[in-house]
Amino acid sequence: MPFNINAIRQQFPALNQSVDGKTPIFFDGPGGSQTTKTTLNAIRDYFAFYNANLGSNFFSGVKTTEVMQQAREAVAALVNAPSADTISFGGSATMLMFNFSRAIGRDWQEGDEIIITAADHYSNVSSWKHIAKDKGVTVHQIAVDEQTFEIDYDELASKIDNNTKLIAFTYASNTLGSVLDAKRIIEMAKSVGALTFIDAVHYAPHFSIDVQQLDCDFLVLSAYKFTGPHVAAIYAKTEHLEGLTPYKVEPATEVAPNRWEQGTQNFEGLAGMTAAIEYLASLSGQELADSPLRDRLETAFDNIKSYEQTLSAHFLDKLKAIEGVTLYGKKSIEGRSPTFAFRLPKGTPAEFADFCAKRVVGVGAGNFYAQGLCEQLGIMEDGGVIRAGCLHYNTIEEIDVLFDLIDEFLNA
Ligand SMILES: Cc1ncc(COP(=O)(O)O)c(C=O)c1O
């Protein structure tokens, strides 16, 4: 299907509003995406007509149970999980990471080791550091390779041994945009019997995920990064959902996956997440409208990837032309999302972001919780980076506006 960007943008109220007399330009997708009318309606309809809790036979309770099951099935399709029962929900990816890290690390002992990376958002670092500290477990943090902007796989290989209990890593960096070689890391982990915990929060809006092909143990994503509301989901192998012991309220069910869901879930958010996944699937085109959700998602992500690569190519070409600019990340369109971290030869990242915000163009400035990365690059105390992140609803023309602003900023 040709990617009909105008028809796509029509579906997003935020992209068609006027702010200070201008149409806003959102390059803050890695921080949070905008949403569609269908997703808004799904949230509103649940909230307006069905607000209830699980387990009741009243029509609203039945609907609530249905909404939750539909969300499990939609996320299972999104990550190609073997069953909807391998998916559970939480308030945010960070909350799921803290929750699961407690349970996964429950039986760790002194002498055990775990591996985290400097490419990660610190939700997938601090959660592990806390439990490691409690259990006296050694933590190795693998550096970012400053040539490939992935991680240093040789360093990783040198740190893995029979004491390694877990490798926690990001599928794609929320700051650099680089995609890590997840399959390679998982193979390394498996060679010593270590678990793998993948943060797919930044990866999920851009690429198709297949947990069966990866054969990872855990994988987390957050719906507000892929046009959904502020809820998160985790895939875990059944053996872990049943075998590990969650921190839970005693009378709450012992049946997986519900036993991992603490308290009442955000049902309107789950309805919205399902709608957001359906929206992504719709990007596969009309011809596939009757195909199974997973098939539509795979085609949709092929389309998203090729459109986003045209955005990346344009962005990188434009960036190359700026004298004195530093790009932190891959210089080619392969192996990256359309998220760009850079510094300009003049001004701080915050000054540039502020300059853009005044002109209703949203870019980020700072460390984006990728603290290990910014420390390694020596820019943590120096304002971090400018982050401009595209999603599939951004356009070449919007990128041109951003580069006009860069010119204006540098020549002011
Ligand atoms: C790569 C990555 N991981 C984790 C998170 C945290 O997600 P949440 O806000 O759902 O806790 C973010 C948020 O920006 C992120 O970009």
Residue 398 CA neighbour count, 13 Å, CB half: 26
pLDDT at residue 3 in the model: 82
Look at the alpha carbons of 17, 20, 26, 31 in this order and tell me if their dihedral is positive or negative: negative
Residue 32 CA, ligand 1 centroid: distance in Å: 9
Q: Which atom of ligand 1 is nearest to the CA of 230?
A: 10
CA 55 / ligand 1 centre spacing (Å):
31
Can you spell out the DSSP letters for 275-343?
Answer: HHHHHHHHTT-GGGTTS-HHHHHHHHHHHHHHHHHHHHHHHHHHHHTSTT-EEES-SSSTTB-SEEEEE
Number of independent structural domains in the chain: 2
Domain assignment of residue 287, yes or no: no
Token match 């509003």: residue? 17
Residues near 141 by beta carbon (within 8 Å), at least 6 away in sequence: 115, 116, 117, 118, 125, 372
Same domain, 228 and 376: no
Determine the distance separating the centroid of ligand 1 and the alpha carbon of 92, expressed in angstroms.
8
Cα(323)–Cα(42) distance, integer angstroms = 47
> 6 CA to middle of ligand 1, Å?
29
Answer yes or no: is 335 within a domain. Answer: yes
Q: What is the mean pLDDT of each run of 10 residues along the chain (412 residues)?
A: 87 98 98 98 98 94 98 98 98 98 98 98 98 98 98 98 98 98 98 98 98 98 98 98 96 96 97 98 92 97 97 98 97 98 97 98 96 93 95 98 98 92
Same domain, 126 and 262: yes
Do 73 and 102 share a structural domain? yes
Distance 332 CA to ligand 1 centre (A): 25
Q: What is the pLDDT of residue 103?
A: 98
Omega before 345 within 30 of 0, i.e. cis: no
Indicate if 28 and 157 belong to the same structural domain: no
Q: From start to end of 76-210, where are the E strands?
A: 87-90, 113-117, 138-142, 164-170, 195-199
**What CATH number should be reported for the domain holding residue 99?**
3.40.640.10
Same domain, residue pair 10 and 66:
no
**Which domain CATH number covers 17?**
3.90.1150.10
**Same domain? 81 vs 104:** yes
| Same-domain status, 322 and 236 | no
Ligand 1 binding pocket, CB closer than 6 Å? 30, 92-94, 121, 123, 170, 174, 199, 201-202, 222, 232
Domain C-terminal end among 215, 245, 278: 278
Q: At 12, which amino acid appears? A: F
In a 13 Å sphere around the CA of 372, the CA atoms on its Cβ side amount to 25
Ligand 1: residue of 198, 369, 371, 387 to mutate (most ligand atoms within 8 A of CB) is 369
Residue 130 lies in a domain: yes
- Counting atoms of ligand 1 from 1, which one is nearest the CA of 30? 16
Residue 285 domain flag: no
Note whether residue 145 is domain-resident. Answer: yes
What's the 204 CA to ligand 1 centre distance in angstroms?
11
46 and 30, same structural domain? no
Helix (H, G, I), strand (E, B), or coil: what is residue 140? Answer: strand
**Residue of minimum CA distance from atom 14 in ligand 1:** 31
Last residue of a domain, one of 278, 307, 329: 278
- Which among 278, 305, 334 is the end of a domain? 278
Residue 78, in any domain of the structure: yes
Instruction: Tell me the CA–centroid distance for residue 222 and ligand 1, in Å.
Output: 7
Domain of residue 313, residue span: 5-35+293-411
Quick one: which H or E segment has residue 220? strand 218-222
Task: Give CA–CA dist 270/42, Å, rounded.
Answer: 9
HSE of 242, CA atoms in CB hemisphere, 13 A = 5
Do 298 and 231 fall within a single domain?
A: no
Query: Residue 120 CA: which ligand 1 atom is closest?
Result: 1
Is 26 a domain residue? Answer: yes
Structural domain contains residue 257: yes
For 148, the 3-state DSSP assignment is: coil
Residues 360 and 241 in one domain: no
- The residue whose CA is least distant from atom 13 of ligand 1 is 31
Which of 95, 100, 123 should be mutated for ligand 1, with most atoms under 8 A from CB?
123
